[in-house]
Every structure is written in structure tokens, then in C-alpha cells.
Amino acid sequence: MATSPSHSSPESAIIEQVITEFFAKSLHIILESRSPYVSSRNYTVDQFMSSPSSSCSSSSSMPRDKWFNLALRDCPAALENFDIWRKSNLEPLVIDIILIRRALVPDVARPLGGCLLRNFSENSDLALEPKSWKIVERWIVQYERHKSSSSKNHKDIRKCGTKNNGGSSCSSETAFYKKTYKRYIILFRSLYVFIRLLPTYKLFHELNSSGQICPLSLSHRISSSIQPFTQEDEAKMNQFTFVPIDTPRGRLSLSVQYLRTLEDIRSEPSAPLSLQFILDYIGSPTTDPFRRLKSLPSAQSSPALVSFTRQHSWSNDHGALASVPLCPSVACSEACGIRCNPSLCLPPLTHRNDHSPPVISEPQNAAVTHKNNMSFDEFWPSPFSPTSSPSSPAHLPGQRSPNALQSGSSQIDIAKAHPITASQTKACSSEGKLQIKMDTLRYGNYQTGPTLVKGFPSGKDDTEKLAELPSSSTQGPLSRSFSGSSLLDKFDDSGFACPFADYKDVTESCNRRSPDAVVGAVVQMLLTAAPLRQDLSNLCRPPQVFMDESLNPCVQHDQANTEQSECPASTSEVLASVLLKSKTAAEGLEELRRYKELKESILKQGASRSSDVDSGPKSAGTNDQS
């Protein structure tokens, strides 16, 4: 005869305890392999202490984690959630494993699966904001009570009671429990193995072992109600149900619905637009600077702030406008501008000894470059420039080119632009070019010292100057020198006749230099500028040849006047002396005009004399013709 079970009886308490521990164990196993960073794997201390609870019966002396002969480490997340849930034992336990995809926003800079994220600005960081989530698994643990008392379980219980000769229902239930205990054990063994074969475990394992912040993360949600999936989601999911275990008064069941594959979710593009620029930029310190500059957007594209702001970080004096440096190195110090190829930033031709602000006397395109040069002067840094110079054109109305970024990005295109200016400077002597190269290296690679000497032949002066440079690199990697020389090679390869060719783009891109650097660069340009006298000498060549014997070109005159005490042994020294005494282009042209007039006058005189001698016969001839 079946008797109605009494909840106050200890045997019923045992069954209740088993049911309670069944839920707890299920939750423990599931969360331990699905909840990153709170899994017991991350805890080194083994704790085999049963958590005190109000419903924990005194008869249960077995620690919780050893229930069902499966010793698990303490899982705080599971226990915490279970303590919250256990108030309603008869409600189903629904555990949703959720895959969260987060988007990176400018808040905190953190490594992201190999891609290094930089600060977007000095005061902003990157952060992960939840973007989308999806339930990838749903575990349902529930206890269904039998409505009818005359169930198979009761028959089995009675059998157990009869076998044990106890006769009472309590002892029969205990015997039944002992008989069915191995079923619980096997079920949890299967659960432990099965949960590690599901697709989500792989993701959990990756997240738990990487330690890096990833846009994907796993979370869980525990509830007591079952929210049905959509048909579309159900079609993508498999279901597995463990064989239910009967209890004297009900049945315990455990089932799972899981996505067959997570590849489609993981492969969904979720990277924000800014990340694409970051990827380009991340490769830039070790990649070719031209490659990096090519990939940079225009100044108008606001999300592309990473690289721009990096330059801003070392050129803080120049406001919010970002400019792309010519130097690829990420870790630019204040001397970053030095590492740039100064050949790109050289101003138009000016007199070397003209310390005053350059006069706009060049052709139109040169005037443009000169105008930009003024802004360039303002910002060009130089280690050799004085810290402050009253003559530094810091106050010059140099315009900050809105296309500074484009100019920086068009570093390679400088050779293609401004063919007129390139033609003007074709007459740069080889020595001048060499001087330019030396200065280039001096600016770009002064930290590497002797390597500069090795690469290029130079005169004594240059050698001495280079010897003064530090012999070891004090800042930055050696690769800077290679970048500088590579830049130089690039210009040579592209047919860039003279680094003086174009200044517009260069100067615009150099607007970020400090005033001291700009002044130093101007001084250097003036010192290394090709002599204007050369062009004039070329232009004057035909009349010079004509007048060489009679009037002597001003070169000789200048030499006679100014270089009496000097006997220049080489052409370069002659040119240098000529440079000192060279006149402006206007004066040269004026001189030319005078020479031409003089020539014409001489020719006329000669012609008139000859005409006077032949005036008689010629005039008769002329009359006959008319």
C-alpha cells in the first residue's frame, strides 16, 4: 500500500537533498565550462567546503562538490547563482549561455587579439560596448513531480521496501535512492564530457586562456522561465536530452539546445571603422613609410585620428590640426622632425648670407613655395638651431595648410610636382647636391654618427661636422637612418633632380615644427642653397662669351675685387666667393640689359662706321632699287 510521503520525514529529506544537489551540480558543471574568468580553473585553491545554507539538511555530511562522486573545484559563480535560485526548487532552472559581441569605442587602449590599439587622443581611451548578443546554448534542468501516486516509481519503491524487509516507505525510498544513485553519477559524467564537445567550449577555452580583451565574450543568464526561440534560431540548433532519472515522486531531466556552429557568428565583421585605420597605422612603424603614408586618409576624415594624433602628441604646440609627419617612427620624440628628410622641407633658393627674411624675387611658383616656406620656417625644428632667435620668422603669416595631411601623404609625389621649379634647379652642382645629401643625413640620421660618413664621400668640412655627431644612437632605433636614406634613394630613383625642386607640399607638411627648428632649417637652407649666380651665369653665357674678352664677366670682376686676398684653388671655392658677392636676380638682369645695350651700341657704332665708308656707292644702289 502506497502511503503518501511526508516531507518532514528524513527519507523525503534525502530525496529532496538529492534533487537540490542535482540542480546545483548541473549548474556547477555548466558554468565552470562556460563562464570565463569566474571558472574554477582560475582558482588555485581547492576548496572542498560545503556552503552553509538554510536548506542544507544536517544529515548531509557530504561536501557539495563531491556529490555524485564527481569532485569539482569550487565555482563561485555557480554557487552564488545557485544560492539565489535555490529558493524555488520546483521551478525549472534555465541557463542561457550568451555570446556577446562588443564594439570598440575610443575609450581605453587595449590589445585586441594581436592588433595594438593606440589612444585616439591624449585624453581618450578605448572601451568595449555591448553591440550584439546571441544565445548559443540553453540548458534546462527541471524536476517534474508525478501527479499520480500510483506510478511506476512507487511500485519500484515498494519493491525496494519489500526486498529490504523494511516495509516502510522511508526505507524503501532510501533503497531506491541507493539503487538510482549510480544513474546520477553516470549522468553527470556524461554531462561533464558532453559539455566539452560542444562548439561553445572551444570559444570558452580560447577566451579563458588568452587573457586578452576580445570583442567576443561569454556570459550566462539564469532564469526560471523558458523563452522560446524563433523558428530561425531553432533551425540552427541541435537538441540533446539526457535520459531522465526517476525519483520516488517525480523525474529529473536535463536537456540542452545548442548552436551547431559558431563560425558564422564569430566571423561577423564587427570591427568599427576606426580599427581599420589602426591596422594600417600599426604596421607603419616597421613598414615602409611610404606605404603608411599612402594609406592615410585626408584631413577631412575624422575617424582616422590615430596616426594624426600621434603626431600631435609630439607636436603639441601646433594646435589641434594634425599633420602627418614625414617620419614613420611611432615613438617620435621632440626631435622627430629632425628625422624627417629635410630635403622635402627645404625652402626655395635664397642667398646664403641673407639672414633677413627671404625676399620674394623668384618666379611665381617659387614665390608660392616661398610663401609656404614662411610657414615652414615657423615650424621647422632643428637640433642645431638656437633655442630662440629674434629673427626667427615665428610671426610670419605662414598659413597652416589645410592640406598638410595630403602634403605629407604625397611625399612620394613631390618628384612629380612642380616641374618648373625642378628645371630651375637642374643646374645644381654635384657638390651642391652632395651637400644637400649630407645635410639630409645630418638631419635625418644625426644620431647614427659614423654611418653617415661611411655612406657618402665628403669633403673635409663635412667629415669634421659629422665627426661631431654622437657616435651612438641615443634616441630611437637605427632604422631611422635607413628610413632617411631610403627616402633619399626614393627621391633619386624618381628622377627628383634637386631637393630644392618643390617646397610647397613639403613646407606645408612641416608646419608642425617648433620655431627654433624652423629657424635652424632656414639657416641651413641658406647655407646649402645653390648659388643663384650659377643661373645667372648660365643665362649670361652667350653674352658672357661675347664679352669675355672685352668687358669680363662680373665674376672675374668680383673675383678681382673681393678675392684679391684669396686664391681659390677649386671651383667650389670660386663659386662660394662669387656667392658672397652675388647680386640679386634683378640686378643681374639689369646688368644683362646694360650689357646688351652696350653691345648694340657697339654694333651700331661699327655699322655706322662701315656705312660711312660705303655711304656713296650704297646710296646710289639704294636709289636705283627704289
Partner 1 sequence: MNCETCQLKELVVEPPEIREVLRCILHTILFHRALGLVRPKDVECELFDITYVQCEDHELEKKIDEKINQFIGWVEKHPNRKSQVCISFYEVKNKHATWFGNKIERFYWEQWYINLHIISPKPHGKSHNTKAHVVTGENAFEESNSRCAALESSLREVLFQIIKFVNEKKDHIPPLQNSEIVSYPYEISTPR
Binding mask 259-288 for partner 1 (x = CB under 8 A): ------------------------------
What order do you get walking across the sheet with 216-223 strand by strand? 216-223, 93-105, 127-145, 250-259, 237-247
For position 139 contacting partner 1 by CB under 8 A, the verdict is no
Binding mask 204-223 for partner 1 (x = CB under 8 A): -x------------------
Binding mask 384-413 for partner 1 (x = CB under 8 A): ------------------------------
- Give the containing element (helix H, strand E) for 534: helix 532-539
Q: Is 134 in contact with 141 (CB distance < 8 Å)?
A: no
Which is nearer to partner 1, 185 or 427 (by Cβ)? Answer: 185
- Shortest separation between residue 215's beta carbon and partner 1, angstroms: 22
For position 49 contacting partner 1 by CB under 8 A, the verdict is no
Inter-helix orientation angle 571-581/554-562, to 10°: 90
For position 159 contacting partner 1 by CB under 8 A, the verdict is no
| List 56, 98, 164, 194, residue binding partner 1 (CB under 8 A) | 194
Spatial distance between the Cα atoms of 255 and 619, rounded to a whole number of angstroms: 130
For position 156 contacting partner 1 by CB under 8 A, the verdict is no
Q: Is 244 in contact with 253 (CB distance < 8 Å)?
A: yes
For position 1 contacting partner 1 by CB under 8 A, the verdict is no
> How many residues at the interface with partner 1, by CB under 8 A?
24
For position 193 contacting partner 1 by CB under 8 A, the verdict is yes
Judge residue 47's burial from the number of C-beta atoms within 10 Å of its C-beta, 0-12 exposed, 13-18 middle, 19 or more buried.
middle
Judged by DSSP in three states, 477 sits in coil
- Shortest separation between residue 185's beta carbon and partner 1, angstroms: 5
Which is nearer to partner 1, 132 or 238 (by Cβ)? Answer: 238
For position 291 contacting partner 1 by CB under 8 A, the verdict is no
Which is nearer to partner 1, 43 or 546 (by Cβ)? Answer: 43
Spatial distance between the Cα atoms of 346 and 500, rounded to a whole number of angstroms: 6
34: Cα separation from own chain's centroid: 33
Q: Point out which span in 66-74, 145-153, 349-357, 479-487 binds partner 1 (CB under 8 A).
A: 66-74
Which is nearer to partner 1, 190 or 365 (by Cβ)? Answer: 190
- Shortest separation between residue 208's beta carbon and partner 1, angstroms: 11
DSSP letter for 398, please: -
Task: Tell me the H-state helices in 472-511.
Answer: 479-493, 504-509
Neighbours of 597 (CB within 10 A): 10
Which is nearer to partner 1, 191 or 265 (by Cβ)? Answer: 191
Cell 629674434 found at: 390
For position 539 contacting partner 1 by CB under 8 A, the verdict is no
| List 56, 100, 108, 185, residue binding partner 1 (CB under 8 A) | 185
DSSP letter for 605, please: H
Which is nearer to partner 1, 181 or 482 (by Cβ)? Answer: 181
Judged by DSSP in three states, 350 sits in coil
Residue 259 pairs with which residues in a beta bridge?
237
Spatial distance between the Cα atoms of 297 and 291, rounded to a whole number of angstroms: 12
Give whole-number Cα distances, 617 to 570, 610, 622, in Å.
Answer: 56, 12, 9
Inter-helix orientation angle 430-445/479-493, to 10°: 150
For position 201 contacting partner 1 by CB under 8 A, the verdict is yes
For position 242 contacting partner 1 by CB under 8 A, the verdict is yes
| List 19, 72, 79, 259, residue binding partner 1 (CB under 8 A) | 72
Which is nearer to partner 1, 63 or 357 (by Cβ)? Answer: 63
For position 187 contacting partner 1 by CB under 8 A, the verdict is yes
Spatial distance between the Cα atoms of 116 and 107, rounded to a whole number of angstroms: 14
For position 243 contacting partner 1 by CB under 8 A, the verdict is yes
φ, ψ at 105 (rounded to 5°): -120, 155
| List 66, 260, 541, 618, residue binding partner 1 (CB under 8 A) | 66
Interacting residues with partner 1 (CB under 8 A): 66, 69-72, 179, 181-183, 185-187, 189-190, 192-194, 196-197, 201-202, 205, 242-243
